[in-house]
């Protein structure tokens, strides 16, 4: 009896199932970062503030990028900081000195001196926000930001730090600025920061801030909105696993033919059959 080999066995069926499930779930949430109050609709709840940090609405003249509120950070102390005599301080709290014990770096969970390396110069004072959150490996964190400034003589700057790794968002001397509808003279306009994928699951830390560089005059600010987790694509791993399972099942399901086609007698078998008839 000639039996047709069953080339699609259980592993193949499982593989097809994984491929189908992967196509369905591709792009869906997979351990996205759990950010508390990322749109600042509940004020600064869920965040730890250092220095001059508050919440602004559309009445500020720039933003928000979504919803009603956005976070506003400045490096302004009072109306003596700017030649215009305008007080750009948002909360009534003074910006924080950067280095040393209880300085801005320490309050944001950064190594002492971490902010000095960004522009190869010494930042003096500033303000920031920090939040610790959970996220899965492969996911990212993102937020919308807008840097605003009056400073054209020194490089006031805005930064982001993810798990202690500090990156420059913009500075007042090299950024491309447009006219601002806010009290500040210029702004970058809203842009989006997206982190590198997290290499491990668990607790992570996001810090953002704005700083004076080399002086204490001419104010700058940073608007932050829509802080959110970006999930790792789950479906692609299921598709890959399904392909391996399906292809593996296809190979293991074929019967060896000893050089001939499936169901046909081999040459050695044919010779023995002829001898038996002689």
Residues 115 and 179 in one domain: yes
Residues 207 and 251 in one domain: no
Residues 158 and 204 in one domain: yes
The Cα–Cα gap between 4 and 213 comes to: 78
Residues 126 and 210: beta-carbon distance below 8 Å: yes
The verdict on residue 262 lying in a domain is yes
Residues 191 and 220 in one domain: yes
Residues 217 and 160 in one domain: yes
Residues 139 and 264 in one domain: no
The verdict on residue 33 lying in a domain is no
The Cα–Cα gap between 44 and 55 comes to: 7
The verdict on residue 113 lying in a domain is yes
Query: In this predicted structure, what is the pLDDT of residue 153?
Result: 87
Residues 94 and 181 in one domain: yes
Q: For residue 260, how many other CB atoms are within 10 A of its CB? A: 13
User: Prior bond to 183 cis, omega within 30?
Assistant: no
The verdict on residue 4 lying in a domain is no
What is the count of structural domains for the chain?
2
Residues 125 and 262 in one domain: no
Cα-to-chain-centroid distance, residue 79 = 36
Low-confidence ranges of the chain (pLDDT < 70): 1-30, 234-278
Residues 102 and 206 in one domain: yes
Residues 144 and 115 in one domain: yes
Query: In this predicted structure, what is the pLDDT of residue 99?
Result: 87
Query: In this predicted structure, what is the pLDDT of residue 117?
Result: 87
Angle, CA 30 vertex, CA 136 and CA 226 arms, to 5°: 80
The verdict on residue 67 lying in a domain is yes
The verdict on residue 240 lying in a domain is yes
Query: In this predicted structure, what is the pLDDT of residue 166?
Result: 97
The parent domain of residue 265 ranges over 10-26+234-277
Residues 128 and 256 in one domain: no
Query: In this predicted structure, what is the pLDDT of residue 261?
Result: 44
Query: In this predicted structure, what is the pLDDT of residue 246?
Result: 54
The verdict on residue 31 lying in a domain is no
CATH code, 151: 2.60.120.260
Query: In this predicted structure, what is the pLDDT of residue 19?
Result: 53
Residues 134 and 179 in one domain: yes
3-class SS of residue 10: helix
Which tokens hold the place of 135?
A: 């996220």
The Cα–Cα gap between 206 and 134 comes to: 11
The Cα–Cα gap between 260 and 251 comes to: 17
Q: Which residue has the tokens 């919440």?
A: 55
The verdict on residue 5 lying in a domain is no
Q: How does DSSP classify residue 113?
A: T
């Amino acid at each position: 009896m000639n039996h047709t080999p069953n080339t699609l066995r259980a592993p193949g069926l499982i593989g097809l199932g994984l491929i189908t499930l992967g196509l369905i779930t591709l792009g869906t949430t997979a351990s996205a970062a759990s950010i508390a109050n990322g749109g600042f609709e509940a004020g600064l709840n869920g965040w730890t503030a250092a220095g001059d940090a508050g919440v602004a609405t559309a009445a500020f003249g720039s933003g928000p990028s979504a919803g009603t509120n956005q976070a506003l950070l400045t490096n302004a102390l009072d109306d003596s900081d700017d030649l215009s005599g305008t007080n750009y301080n948002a909360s009534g709290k003074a910006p924080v000195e950067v280095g040393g014990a209880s300085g801005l770096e320490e309050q944001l969970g950064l190594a002492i001196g971490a902010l000095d390396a960004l522009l190869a110069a010494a930042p003096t004072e500033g303000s920031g926000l920090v939040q610790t959150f959970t996220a899965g490996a492969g996911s990212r964190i993102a937020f919308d930001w807008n840097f605003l400034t009056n400073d054209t003589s020194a490089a006031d700057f805005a930064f982001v730090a993810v798990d202690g790794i500090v990156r420059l968002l913009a500075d007042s001397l090299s950024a491309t600025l447009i006219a601002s509808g806010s009290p500040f003279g210029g702004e970058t306009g809203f842009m989006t920061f997206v982190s590198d994928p997290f290499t491990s699951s668990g607790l992570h830390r996001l810090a953002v801030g704005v700083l004076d560089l080399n002086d204490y005059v001419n104010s700058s600010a940073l608007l932050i909105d829509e802080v959110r987790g970006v999930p790792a694509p789950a479906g692609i791993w299921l598709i890959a696993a399904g392909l391996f399972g399906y292809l593996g099942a296809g190979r293991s399901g074929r019967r060896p033919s000893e050089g001939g086609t499936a169901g046909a007698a081999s040459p050695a078998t044919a010779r023995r059959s002829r001898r038996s008839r002689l």
